[in-house]
């Protein structure tokens, strides 16, 4: 009975987040059967294959939670291999065969069969499991607001345009290569789309609609894997079990220090989101690579791990183009430190850099290129996305890059220069939970152990991510993803520095509690009364000055009472207070959103329930590779002058390629950002002749134009929406009406004779 009781005791902590995840998904309208099917799929097709291959190539951590977390991250990569084989061969069956083959090989080959179990168990303390379970519960609380803000179709609602954009890409990933931009079928797809490929593979395996996979089922498992992977990284670097749950909580639930107020620093929130699945998806992949790199630089033999690292590097590059550069910088810095300290070439670091270089080159060739590559050097460009600068010095910056520096910075007076410096300092202070490890020296546990290559690796990644964010310009502020991607790395580094200074647990707990309490009591950052640099400087400074004064008083009283002991414990208590304040901000924000009213529906921008039903009907009745023409291009749909070409919903909800729907994110418009004073999303259609033919067909219903759509371009369906513009009655005479609902009529074009 004792082994059974021990098993129950070890499984019990995981029951709470599992039940919470089911409840959150159920309350958000996800069918229970789909929840069960997806859970089974994720276990059998992702976690188990990845864990088996990881143990065979890399080894076991000696406990199930860490093995399964790292294994699930690798399982995401292995699934991509199967998906790629299916895309190249044009057969979905290959995906099933690939994943089944891994399981069969590990079950049939005697030397591999041992990897189904842990040969030398070294279990973690139960408190570790309960701590990670608490973090996962916080993730579930956060997900409630995310799902509330993204209701399942059909419903009259204005989803973020990126949600529809990624839905279209997910459907595209279910087709055969080469891939096209589903919203502009004339264009080859060049984008970091592997998060969409992962969801496409999940949909193909489970049979669940990509809409439900993306909007509901995919998010929690991927974030959960990220939590486990970064907990492993923290324990690996620090050597202390408790750093795992604390670092995971800080990385995935902690926020910048002023997010409760109306003014917060850019990148002040969480590194995970539904709107940017690529950013969410890449975190466990980068975390896995970092864990392997840390142990490799410490001397662990990678053996067969070298065979899987190139696949992992390519997966990182294809998941998020900003993922590998900070990793390259971190490993490069660690390798340089080892070279200087040992006076011999650190070949492991060289090999890791070579793998990252390979992933970057292959990733650029497969996923990047075209007009979308608009990242250019402009120091301090991040200021243009921060309110205090935008309404003062930045009023004349415009939408284009401008000169080497933003116009407001380049032309600033002496007072303006000090304001710019203060804005940068303020940003770094607010990001202290993610950046503290860069400026606080880590105490060495063993002076004879050699250089702390792992700390230099993490520090290099965080520094590179922050530096790139401040050095580059992008028309949509995408340079911010360099820092977003290293936020959990920064959290790990902060907690590991704390671990070397936490000599007295009481001081750490007291500091963290004080920081969390101060989040509730501290004055919020408020907007300035006037849009002047003086007023904004003071508005940003007041909460910091009050916080500094309160901290000084509390520290002075503590030192007066406890004297020498307090002086020794004060640095750790202050670091813990920053951690506690960040977690307090994140937790209060997550629970505060539970009471928020449903987001208001912008009727002018919303897609109606009838339009969504029409799109879903076409998804159910059109062949997978059918091409559709539509008159929907803009948001709002009835735009008279400038067309904000980011509708994307027809491709996203029908799951079909559009001859030309919305072009706001395609290469040519993005490359033309600023032409005629217009942002990329307001640029004209990239293929004028095709666009004009498309419009004439809907507005005039001429048989010759419709015939050209069918015969020259391969259009099979017409998706006509009266809210988007005139639909000629004569269209019904040259095409077959197959469905009508509200403003939408769907026509089928007969095959050419």
- Name the 3-class secondary structure at 741: strand
Spatial distance between the Cα atoms of 292 and 59, rounded to a whole number of angstroms: 11
pLDDT of residue 371: 45
Residue whose structure tokens are 């419709």: 706
pLDDT of residue 639: 82
pLDDT of residue 3: 64
Buried b (16+ CB within 10 A) or exposed e, 505-529: eebbebbbebbbebbeebeebeebe
Closest CA to 248 of 592, 586, 593, 590: 586
What are the mean pLDDT values of the chain's consecutive 10-residue runs (753 residues total)?
69 95 97 98 98 96 96 98 96 95 96 94 94 97 95 94 97 95 92 96 97 98 98 96 97 85 84 96 98 95 95 97 96 96 94 97 82 78 94 91 93 95 96 93 56 92 97 93 97 94 81 90 82 93 91 85 74 92 92 82 90 97 96 90 93 97 92 91 93 96 95 96 95 95 95 63
pLDDT of residue 345: 95
Judge contact between 131 and 12, C-beta under 8 A.
no
- Helices 243-252 and 487-501, packing angle to 10 deg: 140
Question: Strands 736-741 and 744-748, how do they pair?
Answer: antiparallel
Give the CA angle between residues 279, 204, 29 to the nearest 5°. Answer: 70
Residue whose structure tokens are 């006509």: 720
Count of beta carbons in the 10 Å neighbourhood of residue 554: 15
User: What residues contact 586, with CB distance under 8 A and at least 6 apart?
Assistant: 138, 253, 254, 255, 270
Spatial distance between the Cα atoms of 434 and 427, rounded to a whole number of angstroms: 11
Question: Strands 715-721 and 627-630, how do they pair?
Answer: parallel
pLDDT of residue 370: 47
- Name the 3-class secondary structure at 376: strand
pLDDT of residue 561: 76
Spatial distance between the Cα atoms of 85 and 63, rounded to a whole number of angstroms: 33
- Name the 3-class secondary structure at 643: coil
pLDDT of residue 493: 97
Spatial distance between the Cα atoms of 106 and 598, rounded to a whole number of angstroms: 49
Residue ranges of E strands in 437-502: 472-473
Spatial distance between the Cα atoms of 118 and 12, rounded to a whole number of angstroms: 20
Residue whose structure tokens are 């850099």: 353
pLDDT of residue 712: 95
pLDDT of residue 264: 82
Spatial distance between the Cα atoms of 150 and 307, rounded to a whole number of angstroms: 40
Cα 479 vs. chain centroid, distance in angstroms?
14
Spatial distance between the Cα atoms of 637 and 425, rounded to a whole number of angstroms: 43
Closest CA to 92 of 169, 173, 14: 173
């Amino acid at each position: 009975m004792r082994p059974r009781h021990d098993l129950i005791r070890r499984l019990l902590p995981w029951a709470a987040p599992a039940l919470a995840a089911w409840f959150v998904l159920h309350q958000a309208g996800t069918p229970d059967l789909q929840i069960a099917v997806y859970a089974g799929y994720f276990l059998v097709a992702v976690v188990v294959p990845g864990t088996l291959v990881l143990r065979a190539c890399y080894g076991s951590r000696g406990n199930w939670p860490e093995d399964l977390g790292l294994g699930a991250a690798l399982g995401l990569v292995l699934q991509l291999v199967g998906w790629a084989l299916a895309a190249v061969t044009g057969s979905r069956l290959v995906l099933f065969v690939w994943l089944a083959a891994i399981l069969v090989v590990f079950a049939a080959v005697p030397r591999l069969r041992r990897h189904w179990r842990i040969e030398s168990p070294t279990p973690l303390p139960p408190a570790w499991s309960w701590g990670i379970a608490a973090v996962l519960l916080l993730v579930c609380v956060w997900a409630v607001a995310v799902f509330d803000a993204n209701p399942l179709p059909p419903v009259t609602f204005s989803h973020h345009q990126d949600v529809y954009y990624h839905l279209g890409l997910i459907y595209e990933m279910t087709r055969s290569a080469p891939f096209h931009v589903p919203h502009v079928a004339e264009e080859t797809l060049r984008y970091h789309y592997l998060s969409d490929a992962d969801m496409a593979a999940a949909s193909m395996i489970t049979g669940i609609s990509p809409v439900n996979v993306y909007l509901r089922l995919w998010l929690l498992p991927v974030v959960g894997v990220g939590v486990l992977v970064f907990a492993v990284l923290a324990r690996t670097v620090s050597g202390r079990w408790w750093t795992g749950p604390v670092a995971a909580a800080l990385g995935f639930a902690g926020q910048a220090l002023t997010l409760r107020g109306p003014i917060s620093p850019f990148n002040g929130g969480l590194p995970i989101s539904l709107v940017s699945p690529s950013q969410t998806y890449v975190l466990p992949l980068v975390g896995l690579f970092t864990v392997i790199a840390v142990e490799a630089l410490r001397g662990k033999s990678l053996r067969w791990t070298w065979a899987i690292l190139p696949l992992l590097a390519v997966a990182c590059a294809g998941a998020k183009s900003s993922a590998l550069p900070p990793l390259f910088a971190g490993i490069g810095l660690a390798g340089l430190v080892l070279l200087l300290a040992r006076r011999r070439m650190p070949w492991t670091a060289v090999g890791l850099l070579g793998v990252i270089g390979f992933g970057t080159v292959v990733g650029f060739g497969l996923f990047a290129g075209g007009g979308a590559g608009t990242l250019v050097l402009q120091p301090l460009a991040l200021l243009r996305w921060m309110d205090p600068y935008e309404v003062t010095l930045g009023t004349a910056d415009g939408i284009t890059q401008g000169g080497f520096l933003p116009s407001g910075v380049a032309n600033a007076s002496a007072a303006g220069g000090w304001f710019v410096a203060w804005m940068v300092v303020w940003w770094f202070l607010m990001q202290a939970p993610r950046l503290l490890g860069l400026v606080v020296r880590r105490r060495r546990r063993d002076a004879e152990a050699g250089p702390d290559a792992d700390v230099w690796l993490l520090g290099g990644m965080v520094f590179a991510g922050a530096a790139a964010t401040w050095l580059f310009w992008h028309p949509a502020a995408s340079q911010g993803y360099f820092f977003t991607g290293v936020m959990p790395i920064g959290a790990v580094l902060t907690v590991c520095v704390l671990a070397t200074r936490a000599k007295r647990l009481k001081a750490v707990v007291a500091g963290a509690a004080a920081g969390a309490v101060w989040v509730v009591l501290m004055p919020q950052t408020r907007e300035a009364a006037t849009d002047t640099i003086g007023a904004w400087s003071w508005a940003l400074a007041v909460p910091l000055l009050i916080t500094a004064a309160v901290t000084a008083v509390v520290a002075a009283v503590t030192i007066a009472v406890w004297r020498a002991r307090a002086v020794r414990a004060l640095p750790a208590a202050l670091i813990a207070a920053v951690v506690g304040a960040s977690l307090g901000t994140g937790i209060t924000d997550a629970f505060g959103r539970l009471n928020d009213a449903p987001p208001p529906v912008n009727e002018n921008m919303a897609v109606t329930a009838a339009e969504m039903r029409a799109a879903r009907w076409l998804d159910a009745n059109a062949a997978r590779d059918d091409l559709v023409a539509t008159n929907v291009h803009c948001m709002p749909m009835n735009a008279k002058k400038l067309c904000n070409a980011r509708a994307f919903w027809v491709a996203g909800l029908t799951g079909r390629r559009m001859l030309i729907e919305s072009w706001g994110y395609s290469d040519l418009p993005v490359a033309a950002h600023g032409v005629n004073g217009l942002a990329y999303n307001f640029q004209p259609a990239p293929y004028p002749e095709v666009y004009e033919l498309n419009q004439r067909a809907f507005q005039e219903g001429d048989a010759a134009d419709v015939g050209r759509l069918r015969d020259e371009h391969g259009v099979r369906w017409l998706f006509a929406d009266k809210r988007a513009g005139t639909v000629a009655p004569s269209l019904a005479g040259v095409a077959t009406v197959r469905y009508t609902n509200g403003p939408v009529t769907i026509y089928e074009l007969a095959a050419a004779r």
